[in-house]
Amino acid sequence: MRRFRVNLKKFVVNQRAPIQEQARSGMSFEVSEANSSEVVERPELGIESAVVRSGRSYFYSVGYPSGIGRNDVHGIELAKAKVIERLSSSQSEIGIGMLDQARVLARDELLNHFDPERSTYLSYFIAHDTVGYGPFSILLADRKNIEEIEVNSPTMPITIYTTKYGRCATNIRFVDENSFRYNVNKLASESEKELSDETPIVDVQVGDSRIHAQIRPYAISGAAASIRIGGEKRVTLDFLLKGGMVDTETLAYLWLAVDADLNMVIAGAPASGKTTLLTAISGFVPLRSRIVTVEEDINELKFNDSFTNVIALYGEKYRVTTKEQVLNALRLRPDRIVVGEIRGDEAKDLFAGSNIGIPFMTTMHCNDDPLGVIKRLSVKPMGVETRSISMLDLSIHTAHSDFKGRRLSSIYEYKWLSRAETMEGVAIGDGDMVNSVRIASNGRLEKGALSESKVIGSFSKKYGFSMRKTMQELEKRARFLEKHGSGSMPVTRLSETISEYING
């Protein structure tokens, strides 16, 4: 396994040297001064930083409000050379674990050129540029709030996608294409792949983050990258409800759907909140259920320790595929299968499993169209047969707006001729027909549609309730969720609360 090491002899940039061997005397990135807009939040980055608002736009300022100016360059070069020299002589492998040590060494040298406050400020950036991953490790420090780091061009400001404010520009950028490549390769050093002229496209998993990067000739701008961050973020009921993505009645309706063992697909565009909602709905699964989750690469689906019967499987493109893991999940005698996302022929096996009584929940990319979901499932690369598609009960659609954030745009119920649920509808595949009914729009239930709702009917049948009693149960659960959604309870703890509700 290749590890990144700083080569002291080449701390001055050598354009002909392999990029992984370069260490720089100057900074590989620039930090500009922040504007004076209203501060709405201060990220915990180990240095004064802020999210500022200007009109309807948000700006993520690293090192707020100051930046790195021309007067800092000489002192930074001397301090950085001193850090590299001292750490290289220690015979230890230089890496991200040395951030604090590098910062102390940099500050000691900077005190010869700047006042203590400025020295402390600049030492933070020098440490990240020598033993960290430049701008990447700075932003990764706020992984609880940042979902994705985006580079559109090597010398344009880096953008990020945050859980709370959506997409934000930052005040940090690389100085050139070599600097971009240098830091990408440091970040990806634990993998066996390297961004280079021979391999201008890399797609790797490092820890809980997925890195996709390209350089010329495929990235016309010179460089492009997306780092999708997983792991520490925790979605709360408070976030879902106050953010306006969904209301308590709609969540209570979905709770009934999970209780009734219905099959559901959450559909929407990238970054529209599909996985967020899937995680929330997964919290409605009874604690004693045996759940098997299948994901590709990133550990996004979270279950708390109260779930003692959860098995997490991972699928990849080149070794054990998602399709193989879905098949393996079916062999593990699950009560329910949760798949992070379906893209290909793994959908066939997931729907086939539902035919033998194993309910599922998953996400897929699709627009807000109930028949569009069925069409995508029926054609390649998914190619699910008609008799299996008829096991689909609900499609839940999410959308994203720059101003309103993520939202649940609609919920549709499917009623099938082959399951004796309808006598009319749209012809599908091998002689089947489906009727789709919209149950919710813009995160709110359409009350008029509930009287003939499949969810209400299925829940009533399973538990021996009258339709009226099930409607009362819906209202009761909505009040319960409103009470417990007023704080910062993680969705991953929702199952504990539901267990208390059921046993109470």
233 pLDDT above the threshold of 70: no
| Structure confidence at residue 14 as a pLDDT band (50, 70, 90) | very low
Q: Are residues 217 and 244 in the same domain?
A: no
- Looking at the domain assignment, is residue 443 inside a domain? yes
CATH of the domain at 89: 3.30.450.380
Q: Return the closest-CA partner of residue 443 out of 252, 296, 224.
A: 252
Q: Are residues 74 and 137 in the same domain?
A: yes
Q: Are residues 53 and 135 in the same domain?
A: yes
Domains in the chain: how many in total?
2
Beta bridge partners of 162: 146, 166
Half-sphere exposure of 449 (CA within 13 A, CB side): 18
For 452, the domain range is 237-503
| Structure confidence at residue 393 as a pLDDT band (50, 70, 90) | very high
Q: Are residues 201 and 245 in the same domain?
A: no
pTM: 0.75
Of the chain, the percentage scoring pLDDT greater than 70 comes to 85
| Structure confidence at residue 7 as a pLDDT band (50, 70, 90) | very low
Whether residue 435 contacts residue 424, with contact meaning beta carbons closer than 8 Å, is answered with: yes
Q: Are residues 195 and 148 in the same domain?
A: yes
Q: Are residues 173 and 266 in the same domain?
A: no
Measured in degrees and rounded to the nearest 5, phi and psi for residue 250 equal -70, -40
- Residues composing the chain: 504
The C-alpha atoms of residue 454 and residue 443 are separated, in whole angstroms, by 18
Question: For residues 35 and 201, which has the higher predicted lDDT (pLDDT)?
Answer: 201
Beta bridge partners of 58: 53
pLDDT tens string 36-70: 778 999 998 999 999 998 877 899 999 999 999 98
- Which residue is it, tokens 């797609």? 203
Measured in degrees and rounded to the nearest 5, phi and psi for residue 374 equal -65, -40
CATH of the domain at 326: 3.40.50.300
Cα Dmax for the chain: 84
pLDDT tens string 140-192: 999 888 989 999 999 999 999 887 888 899 999 999 999 999 999 999 887 87
- Which residue is it, tokens 């100051």? 66
